[in-house]
Structure 1
Amino acid sequence: MIRNYLKTGWRNIIKSKGTFTVNIIGLALGIASVIMIMLYVSSELSYDRFNKKADRIARVVFRANINNEEMKEAVVMAPVAQTLKNDLPEVTDATRLAKSYNNRLEYNGTYYGQSSMGYVDPNFFDVFTLHIMSGDQHSPLDKPNTAVISETLARNVFGITDPVGKTFHITNREEDYTVSAVMKDIPENSHFHFDILASTLGYAAAKKTTWMQSDFFTYLVLKEGATVAEVEAKLPAITRKYMGPQMTDAIGMSYEEFEKNNDLGLFLQPLTDIHLHSDFSDATTLEQGGDIKYIYIFSIVAIFMLVIACINFMNLATASASKRSKEVGIRKVLGSNKKQLIYQFLAEAFISTVLATIFAILIFGLSLPGFNQLAGKSIELDSLLKPLYIFSFIGLIFLITILAGGYPAFYLSSFNPLNALKSKFSGSGKNSGIRGGLVVFQFVISAGLILATLVVKEQMNYIQNKDIGYEKDQLLVVRNTYLLGNNEDNFIQEIKNYPRVENVTHSAFVPAGESDNEVGGIFLNGEFLRRMYFYNVDENYIPTMGMELLAGRNFSKFYGDENDNVIINEKAAEALGFGKDAIGKTFQRDTDDGPRDIHVIGVIKDFNWKSLHQEIDPLVLKRNPYGGVIVRSKTADMSGIIENLNSNWNSYNPKEALDYSILDDSFNHTYLKERKMGTILTLFAILTIIVACLGLFGLVTFTAEQRFKEIGIRKVLGSSATQIVALLSKDFIKLVGISFLIAFPLSYYLINKWLQDFAFRIEIKWWLFLLAAIITLGIAFLTIGIKSFKAASMNPVKSLKTE
């Protein structure tokens, strides 16, 4: 019986090639979208779940609001791990990780350059599931200066030689490490990646007892059945107990007094939330994570794509009822019951869905390289062969069959045989209303996506063109000049002599992209105020960056500015209570020897030294140049400068190649996630409008066929092609117009929520709605007009001769 349904269904499909083609294309695009998003979402949600104890691991984080300074840090104090393990019965284990920067590896006289390295406690491999391939399987880090290295690093440095027991050197730290084990490369879906994991037993910072300085990513393993909430509830008492005495010594204020006007404390973040639910400062994160909002957005878009494709199927099937009415009538007269007819129509939907799924997989395979590049993933086509996805596809096929074919099957099988044989089904009335409602739904989604795409594009343009307080164009950043040692000053002087160079500053502090960071506690009149960020610069920094000095003077080599003189931004002047009279004022910075007086010699205009997602924070510039250089070119073409830099760099025979970047590129890279989202939204907006227009094209086709004779009569009576196009178009254009009334308020709310993530953002202007409406209406009218004009141009004699 099933075979008969499928065979008959295939024959019926072949008879309606046009409808079948529209359905297949629409469903294939919808299913391909679902496959792409399903694999993307699956990859994003899989982060850190490979760890066997993933559901019991939580990271300890620090959050505070101190004198309007909002602090969100993923690192905490060195003693936190052991303290929580000792004091909380719900904690069965605790381990720490500290990121090490600028690590240069050397082995057997050969220099291998920079490697990613972290210091971890000896029990790190008991907490995280990282596979050790060779060496000490049980306690590889229980001795000082031992390290576990990745499989890739072992192959690159030691080749086919067994690295276990070998010693390598970290040149910038002047430390030797013995390889105790080799681990498999840390999985891609981990929130941290290192080539070297060194023992904290030889790391001085790990022995600190202070609760006033945060250095370590700290992870707890909770007891079976223990919840994050119940452990978190005990953290305030522990913070008060251990931080309180040290706070009194450090800032001269009791913890209780401090708490009256400030909030601070330790909190827990489940391990599996780290990748998608983190909002910590860039300086205290291991790697840039994802964003759960984009998971929601892309998932909803994919679902809508599929729903729109199913709506097309339903619309075209019910619209073609008049063509199938006699078939239904004859079948019923010959003895077919309603159930058999339902099965027959569902079989046709099933065949269409299976073929569409095959085409969808082909589309996905062809677009996968581009999708991987856009999404920053390495998804492979054979991942679809996983049992989970195979069963998902089977379920998806049956779901689409029911969604797309269910209503048409019940609708067509319900025809009265007498009326069916008389073809008394014109597609009007109740079912025409349902089809109209579905068209409105399709264009609500299409118009909403077009509006969202326009707003994202405008926000990105705003970011690109906003006055950020410095001139980011024509700036070249060289990050590793410190490797030249005693030759660094000579190298910088040579750069200044290039005819194409306008200015050069010696600093490793850059307002976009990779940068050094320094934070210090600020005191005013002997009382702790808050923390502030510091930039270590030279006297050329402000002119090179094109910043504006509002008051006072710049740094000078001749005033002893290296010690106690600083330049602050407007926000710092405001936070310190100096206002516009900051010049000559004094405040204190915390040092190892206690608070030290520093004097304000200048105030610069606020500039965006963080992402535009964040407000401008107080900033202090002090004269202490080191680490790198920033070069301002006289022209946009910097190829000649780069060539000269490379030549001079190599003349000093450094161990590494010149590490440089264009600051404007680094600035744009900061918003790469948003740009990718904009591109993906644009892609899906195009696909959605294509699928919606396919359905619209099919409906107009059937409308024209139903009104075939009417069109002929109107032409004979003198109607022009334009009038007939208007006649066939007005109802559909009206539906598209109605969709705007729903799409725009809803889109405004959702887009505005997205914009709230930016401290600096555009206002959604009225013309964006108008442009979205014109684009949507124009595409819809073009779709309708093509078919309507074709129908209006036909010879009326043909239509009037037909029965």
Structure 2
Amino acid sequence: MIKNYIKTAFRGLMKNKGFTFINVFGLALGLATCLLIVFYVFDELSFDSYNTKADRIFRVNNNIKFGGNENSYAVSPAPTAAAMKADFAEIEQVARFRNNGGNQVKKGKQNIVEDRMVYADNSIFSIFTLPMISGSPQNALTAPHTVVITEKMAKKYFDRTDVVGQTLTFNDTSLYKVTAVLKDIPKQSHFNFDFFIAMPGLAESKEDAWLSNNFNTYVLLKEGADIKKLDAKMTAFMIKHAGPQLQSMIHLTFSDFEKAGNYYKLDFIPLRRIHLHSISVAELDVNGDIKYVYIFSGVAILILLIACVNFMNLSTARSSNRAREVGVRKVLGSPRKHLIFQFLTESVLVTLFATLIALLAAWLFLPQFNKMAGKELVVTGQIISWLLPTLLLIIVIIGCLAGSYPALYMSAFQPIEVLKGKIAAGFKGGMFRNILVVGQFCISIFLIISTLVIYNQLQYIQSKDLGYNRDHVLVIKNVWSLGKGAKSFRDEVKGLGGVQNASLSGALPTGGYGNSSAFFKTPTMDQKQSMLTQIWPADENYLPTLGIKIIAGRNFSKEMSTDTAALVINEAAAKQLGFINSIDQFLYSPNDRMGKTIKKYHIIGVIKNFNYQSLKDNITPLMFNMDEDRGAVTVRVKSANIPGIIQQIKNKYNSFSPTQAFAYSFMDEDFDAIYRAEQRIGTISVAFTSLAIVIACLGLFGLAAYAAEQRIKEIGIRKVLGASISTIVGMLSKDFIKLVLISIVIATPLAWWAMHGWLQGFAYRQNVQWWVLALAGVGAITIAFVTISFQSIKAALTNPVKSLKSE
């Protein structure tokens, strides 16, 4: 019986090749899109799940509100880990990372800058799942000047992995003994370091500084421990440990500090939530965003829904063509359940063919999707193990759901009415089908508006005046490797003919610099006259190099030795400080991590506010102090021959460090990288919107073809009576255009509401423009009309003799 159903279904599909192609191709596009998005979502949700103890691992976050500003940090004080383990029985183990930047590693005669370095406690091997190829996790990082490296680094520097006992040279001076080799850390990790340096070699790690936050701290709870109960103990914990130092610095008890509207508290974030839910300062890597996981998942469902709607629409539209078949089958004794099963078999077959094509298409387009999404997705055995059973289930579910309405609809025909020709045919008879068409175009219009809004916001970001000039600015990286020669290198670069100015500082508006400090208006450090602000080291060339405007006072001067204790502040800082005239006012700040000494600063200048953070954030207080920072040399190029000046700068660099690789970037490219996630969303939105439109148009194309076919005799009569081609095209098109207009009315406010909410994530944004909504509506009507017109014009040009010869 089943064999007969399949054979009959296959013959029916082959008999109507056009219908079958539209259904298979539409479903295949929808399923392929869903598969790609599923790969993306699976990858995002799997971050840190390789850790066998992931459910018991938590990171300690630090939240500070002080002096009118508040921040959340992914780091905490150095002694936090040891104190927590000593105070709380529910904690099994603790570990810390200290991300202190990269180092040069010698390979032969060449020095290679390695940025993926971190200081780490040996206990990381008890918390995280970091399998070793060689070496022992018991004491790998217990002695100073020891390092654990990944398999990739072992092969890079030694061409083998059995390198325990070998030595690596950092910065031409420091020798580090390799004590273990790890398997490469999975890419789905919120940290991806290649060098783990022993924490005992870092003096800062031993300091009892509770008011300085530099260490990423992790705790492993014992089995059955409740993180909520532990979290409730954090206030008392901070009062006990941080309270004395806080009182010593600002002369307030912890309780009085909080009563004044401030807070200094620790909390916990589960390991597996870090990648998608954490946006704290000092993250160990660039995190994702759960919001985009939800958006992509929703888009996948919507596109698949459009494809399924196509199937249902086209199947019910063909009802008149199969009405006599149903009538004959019923007269010959076929029960309704057999007819339903027959139609569902056809639906499942279509879904099966579409799924096979979708699998092939997803595999072929995966590399291109990786480029768009910034991923390195691959189809692994683990994915196949759950994908194949899931696809089989999808084939059955989609096949039955998409085919259920047509099956129930057509199997309900009464034989006597069918055989007398009384079954209503045509486009106008299907109210449910019309609702489905409206739903399809609602989704398409929603996606069109969303894509236009995202593109418009990205264009706004690119063109907004940020308060500094990022054009023709070259950033020379890794200048710290030049040591004391960094300043001389800057001066020689500045003297080149094609260079307008050059500055030595790693604190850049595109660099994510996050060093914060508290400043007070009085030497007694009265918290009522305080401010928490970012403080960036800069030289006298920094402001003119970036084109930052001074609105009061002056810039730093190397001729004035007192400028080492000078500050240049932005407008936001000046406003919050509340000085009538900020110039020559004094501020005070702790001069060490313990807060035992105080440094006095005087304000010499006020600069116009500039966006030194993402445009998602409002401009907050910022201060510059004249201090040496060898992170980078920023060069403003005035030469038209940019490749030539880059080569000159490279030659200068190599004269200072012949063994060090020359690395640079353009500041406008670094700026674009800040919004890479949004740019990817924009690119993917365009692709998915295009696919949704194509799928919707496929269905509309098929419906128009059947509507024209069912009205072919009416068209013939109208032509005989003198109707023009344009009249007939308008007649066939108006019913569809009405549905598109209804879709516009429904989808436009929904899309406006959704994109208005998305734009709220940007402190600086454009509102949803009226022309975006208008353009989306006109575009939808145009697309629909062009799609329908092909069939309408074809029907209007048909010779009426052919359609009326049997009458």
Superposed displacement of residue 338, structure 1: 0.9
**Inter-partner Cα distance in structure 2 for 1:113 and 1:180:** 21
Secondary structure of the residue aligned to 2:563 is coil
Aligned to 2:655: 651
Aligned to 1:718: 722
**Inter-partner Cα distance in structure 2 for 1:511 and 1:190:** 27
- Does 2:545 align with 1:544? yes
Secondary structure of the residue aligned to 1:77 is coil
Moved more, 523-532 or 487-496: 487-496
**Inter-partner Cα distance in structure 2 for 1:789 and 1:315:** 22
Render the CA deviation track for 1:486-533: whole Å, top value 9, x for unaligned: 543443333223222222222222111x36553222111232413221
Contact kept, 8 Å, 1:506 with 1:625, in 2: the verdict is: yes
Contact kept, 8 Å, 2:151 with 2:161, in 1: the verdict is: no
Aligned to 1:163: 163
Render the CA deviation track for 1:549-584: whole Å, top value 9, x for unaligned: 1011122122224322221100110121125x1112
- Does 2:688 align with 1:667? no
**Inter-partner Cα distance in structure 1 for 2:690 and 2:111:** 51
Secondary structure of the residue aligned to 1:100 is coil
Superposed displacement of residue 223, structure 1: 2.5
- Does 2:461 align with 1:463? yes
Aligned to 1:483: 481
Contact kept, 8 Å, 1:613 with 1:757, in 2: the verdict is: yes
Superposed displacement of residue 240, structure 1: 1.9
1:324-473 map, 5 Å: 324-381=322-379, 386-427=384-425, 432-473=430-471
Contact kept, 8 Å, 2:570 with 2:606, in 1: the verdict is: yes
> What letter matches 1:215 in structure 2?
N
Aligned to 1:691: 695
Aligned to 1:258: 257
Render the CA deviation track for 1:371-391: whole Å, top value 9, x for unaligned: 111112222245586210111
Secondary structure of the residue aligned to 1:181 is strand
Return closer, same or farther for 1:61/1:653 CA change in 2, 3 Å cut-off.
closer
User: In the alignment, which of 296, 313, 316 is matched to residue 315 of structure 1?
Assistant: 313
Aligned to 1:530: 531
Superposed displacement of residue 324, structure 1: 0.4
- Does 2:234 align with 1:230? no
Moved more, 131-140 or 179-188: 131-140
**Inter-partner Cα distance in structure 2 for 1:72 and 1:382:** 37
Secondary structure of the residue aligned to 2:561 is coil
Aligned to 2:499: 501
Return closer, same or farther for 1:266/1:386 CA change in 2, 3 Å cut-off.
same
Superposed displacement of residue 249, structure 1: 0.7
Return closer, same or farther for 1:109/1:669 CA change in 2, 3 Å cut-off.
closer
> What letter matches 1:748 in structure 2?
W
> What letter matches 2:293 in structure 1?
I
Aligned to 1:287: 285
Superposed displacement of residue 167, structure 1: 2.4
Return closer, same or farther for 1:688/1:104 CA change in 2, 3 Å cut-off.
same
Return closer, same or farther for 1:429/1:186 CA change in 2, 3 Å cut-off.
closer
Superposed displacement of residue 428, structure 1: 6.1
Q: TM-score, normalised by structure 1?
A: 0.96
Aligned to 2:742: 738
Contact kept, 8 Å, 1:93 with 1:127, in 2: the verdict is: yes
- Does 2:150 align with 1:150? yes
Aligned to 2:192: 193
Percent identity of the aligned residues? 43
1:558-573 map, 5 Å: 558-573=559-574
Render the CA deviation track for 1:579-610: whole Å, top value 9, x for unaligned: 5x111211112213522221111111000111
Q: TM-score, normalised by structure 2?
A: 0.96
Superposed displacement of residue 165, structure 1: 1.4
- Does 2:603 align with 1:600? yes
Superposed displacement of residue 198, structure 1: 2.1
Contact kept, 8 Å, 1:112 with 1:157, in 2: the verdict is: no
Superposed displacement of residue 108, structure 1: 7.5
Contact kept, 8 Å, 2:537 with 2:626, in 1: the verdict is: yes
Return closer, same or farther for 1:408/1:488 CA change in 2, 3 Å cut-off.
same
Return closer, same or farther for 1:508/1:255 CA change in 2, 3 Å cut-off.
same
> What letter matches 1:464 in structure 2?
Q
- Does 2:654 align with 1:617? no
Contact kept, 8 Å, 1:228 with 1:270, in 2: the verdict is: no
Secondary structure of the residue aligned to 1:274 is helix
Render the CA deviation track for 1:411-434: whole Å, top value 9, x for unaligned: 111111112223333346996110
Provide structure 1 residue ranges, at least 5 long, that are not aligned to the other structure.
Answer: none
Moved more, 141-150 or 481-490: 481-490
Aligned to 2:31: 31
Secondary structure of the residue aligned to 1:598 is strand
1:37-186 map, 5 Å: 37-106=37-106, 111-160=111-160, 162-171=162-171, 174-186=173-185
Superposed displacement of residue 668, structure 1: 0.6
Aligned to 1:633: 637
Superposed displacement of residue 639, structure 1: 1.3
Render the CA deviation track for 1:438-464: whole Å, top value 9, x for unaligned: 011111110000000000011001100
**Inter-partner Cα distance in structure 2 for 1:486 and 1:263:** 41
**Inter-partner Cα distance in structure 2 for 1:348 and 1:37:** 27
Render the CA deviation track for 1:624-660: whole Å, top value 9, x for unaligned: 2431321112256521211111122223343212221
Superposed displacement of residue 85, structure 1: 2.1
- Does 2:502 align with 1:519? no
**Inter-partner Cα distance in structure 2 for 1:143 and 1:488:** 32
Return closer, same or farther for 1:67/1:160 CA change in 2, 3 Å cut-off.
closer
**Inter-partner Cα distance in structure 1 for 2:142 and 2:628:** 39
Moved more, 80-89 or 362-371: 80-89
> What letter matches 1:143 in structure 2?
A
Return closer, same or farther for 1:434/1:357 CA change in 2, 3 Å cut-off.
same
Aligned to 2:775: 771
Superposed displacement of residue 684, structure 1: 0.6
Secondary structure of the residue aligned to 2:214 is strand
**Inter-partner Cα distance in structure 2 for 1:161 and 1:329:** 75
Return closer, same or farther for 1:428/1:622 CA change in 2, 3 Å cut-off.
same
**Inter-partner Cα distance in structure 1 for 2:278 and 2:572:** 26
Contact kept, 8 Å, 2:60 with 2:216, in 1: the verdict is: yes
Superposed displacement of residue 773, structure 1: 0.7
> What letter matches 1:767 in structure 2?
W
Moved more, 192-201 or 484-493: 484-493
Contact kept, 8 Å, 2:111 with 2:661, in 1: the verdict is: no
> What letter matches 1:689 in structure 2?
I
Render the CA deviation track for 1:123-149: whole Å, top value 9, x for unaligned: 211110111111214442233333221
Return closer, same or farther for 1:683/1:118 CA change in 2, 3 Å cut-off.
same
Render the CA deviation track for 1:278-331: whole Å, top value 9, x for unaligned: 1112xx110001110100000010111111100000000001000000000111
**Inter-partner Cα distance in structure 1 for 2:735 and 2:487:** 76
Aligned to 2:790: 786
Aligned to 1:754: 758
Return closer, same or farther for 1:296/1:727 CA change in 2, 3 Å cut-off.
same
Superposed displacement of residue 364, structure 1: 1.2
Q: Compute the RMSD of aligned alpha carbons.
A: 1.8
Contact kept, 8 Å, 2:95 with 2:217, in 1: the verdict is: yes
Superposed displacement of residue 729, structure 1: 1.0
**Inter-partner Cα distance in structure 2 for 1:666 and 1:113:** 19
**Inter-partner Cα distance in structure 1 for 2:656 and 2:83:** 50
> What letter matches 1:533 in structure 2?
Q
Return closer, same or farther for 1:161/1:63 CA change in 2, 3 Å cut-off.
closer
Return closer, same or farther for 1:617/1:419 CA change in 2, 3 Å cut-off.
same
Aligned to 2:240: 241
Moved more, 39-48 or 240-249: 240-249
What is the number of residues matched between the two proteins?
Answer: 798
- Does 2:579 align with 1:578? yes
